[in-house]
Structure 1
Amino acid sequence: MSVMQFRHFAAGLALGLLTLGAVQPALADDDDRRIAITGRAEVTAVPDRADVTLGVDAEGKTAAAAMAENARRMSAVFEALTAAGVAREKIGTTGLSLQPVYDYPHQQGRNGPPRLVGFRASNMVQVRVTEMDRVGKVLDATVEAGANTIHGISFSVSEADRLLDTARAEAVADARRKAEIYAKAAGVRLGKVLRIDEARGGGPQPVYRAMAMASEAMRADTPVAPGEQTLGISVSVLWELED
């Protein structure tokens, strides 16, 4: 057999094998006997903690004067927080800065380089309030004492882990319910669980609602509505399938 004839023979043999493989049924592997289903569950709860970030910005002709004025106002804020019933361990410094303040003539239609006119000192603290009906009162007290910056307020649930455990069990039950529907429709049964993967649903989601005011005195405070938080869990469960 010549080299050319051998090449034609080999090419024909390969084509025949490919054709034979195309018409033969594929052998079942382990993945054909498994089913993966995602289950979801949510629980809602009313927040019982509020974290408020607030502080004092103060300016002075010199850096020392700005820091001294800031310290005076911040001390008054700490005293107001204590008087409002906030324990010292619930107050933590989150930021302290000192920056120069410049006058920019071009912003006022004048010529000339920037000119140093003073300094600004900033002191920020995070305050945790665990009595939700006192959040507005605490805010008002700090502002009256000298706080002139409020960077935000966030609410949280102290028993979030316990509530999420309930959601985990419900999410697995949801996955099993759906998996049993598919298995029954396919004429098979669920076997043992092979794997469970959890995914948090992006963190607590607030669901806002109006906060009831119990008295005229409460209406005088800054209104704050903690609403409800939705805690979500998703789980992916992998089962074996049995005949």
Structure 2
Amino acid sequence: MVVRTVPLLAGLMLAAPALAQSGKPLRDYPVVEVAGTAVEHVEPDRADVTLGVFAEKPTAAEATAALARQSTGLMQQIDATGIARKDMRTTSVDVTPIYAEAREPKTQIVKQTLTGFRASTRLVVATGDIEHVGELVAKLLATHANQLEGVEFRISDRAEREDALLGKAVANAQKRARLLAEGAAMKLGELVEIDAGQSAPMAYASAKSARGMAAEAAASVAIRPGEERLEAHVRTLWRLLPK
């Protein structure tokens, strides 16, 4: 008896770690693992227009004063379009020196000479008038703004849409699991496990951004948001029951 008991105990001790290392709980009933997906194509309903304004003058004080006048004029022009002040946001203000470089013919040494100062600011304007973003950009660049840094489109209720897609993805997984259960001559039981996640948005169709455009070019460019593809994915595990 003693000789037979020792190998049996050793076998049990070796088996226990192997089960723990698998990372999956033991189940005494059949299961089916099914992935569920839900997709929605959405047109963005908001646009963030980033504009640049700069002024170059002999002194820093003069450049700053000129920038203040241009920025004030730009804000007033945006006010006239009906866009609220809460939808305007200044993201940067800078004053930098401007140097001219000249190389000495004999020594080939490059010398820098201070010629003035450049004051600049960046303003982000949010609008829900997607259809007329191009007209807004052209109008602002034709007067007080010097540069178009970019136009970014977004979906204002993205979080709500992604939550709804998760529910649809679970329903999709349940439908597929039921089909598999019926194909196996069994009945679908309760949900045992579920993991969820959203994919990164994908831009569709038209250009989503236009960067570094000058005022002359902006007036001739049509700006369209296109569509974004929103996705939700779930991994589910269902219990199978006999019919």
Helix, strand or coil at the partner of 2:142 = helix
Q: What residue number does 1:145 align with?
A: 143
Corresponding residue for residue 235 of structure 1: 234
Shift of 1:67: 1.2
Contact 1:81 1:141 in 2 (8 A): no
1:133, distance to aligned residue in structure 2 (A): 2.3
SS at match of 2:173: helix
Q: Does 2:51 align with 1:54?
A: yes
More helix by share: 1
* SS of match in other structure, 1:193: strand
From the CA coordinates, give the structure whose radius of gyration is larger.
1
Distance 1:162 1:103 in 2: 54
Decide whether the 8 Å contact of 1:34 with 1:239 is kept in 2: yes
Preserved contact between residue 54 and residue 149 of structure 1 (Cα < 8 Å)? yes
- Residue 221 of structure 1 and its aligned partner are, at CA, apart by 7.1
Note if contact 1:196-1:238 (Cα within 8 Å) is conserved in structure 2. Answer: yes
Cα deviation code 1:68-110 (max 9, x no counterpart): 121111111111111222111111111112222233435x995
Separation in 2, partners of 1:150, 1:238: 50
Identical amino acids, percent of aligned pairs? 31
Gaps of 5+ in 2: 20-24, 208-218
How many residues are aligned here?
A: 216
Distance apart, 1:113 and its partner CA: 3.3
> C-alpha offsets along residues 111-135 of structure 1, whole Å, 9 cap, x if unaligned?
3333333222221111011112221
Cα 1:195/1:116, change in 2 over 3 Å? farther
Deviation at 1:43?
A: 0.9
Does the 8 Å CA contact 2:93/2:119 hold for their aligned counterparts? yes
Secondary structure at 1:173's aligned position in 2?
Answer: helix
* 1:55 and 1:74 in contact (8 A); partners too: no
| Residues 32 and 126 (structure 1), Cα distance of their counterparts in 2 relative to 1, 3 Å cut | farther
Cα 1:112–1:31, aligned 2, differ >3 Å: closer, same or farther? farther
Partner residue in 1 for 2:222: 223
The residue type equivalent to 1:242 in the other structure is: L
**Selected match of 2:90 from 88, 93, 118:** 93
RMSD between aligned residues:
3.3
How far did 1:142 drift? Answer: 1.1
Cα pair distance change 1:111/1:32, threshold 3 Å? farther
1:70 alignment counterpart: 67
Q: Which residue of 2 aligns with 1:216?
A: none
Q: Which amino acid aligns with 1:156?
A: R
Normalised to the residue count of structure 1, the TM-score between the two structures is 0.74
Instruction: Identify the residue that residue 126 of structure 1 maps to in structure 2.
Output: 124
1:222 Cα offset (Å): 4.8
- Are the equivalent residues in 1 in contact too, given 2:188–2:240 (CA < 8 A)? yes
Instruction: Return the TM-score normalized by structure 2.
Output: 0.74
1:55 CA drift (Å): 1.9
Q: Which segments of 5 or more consecutive residues in structure 1 lack a partner in the other structure?
A: 1-8, 211-219
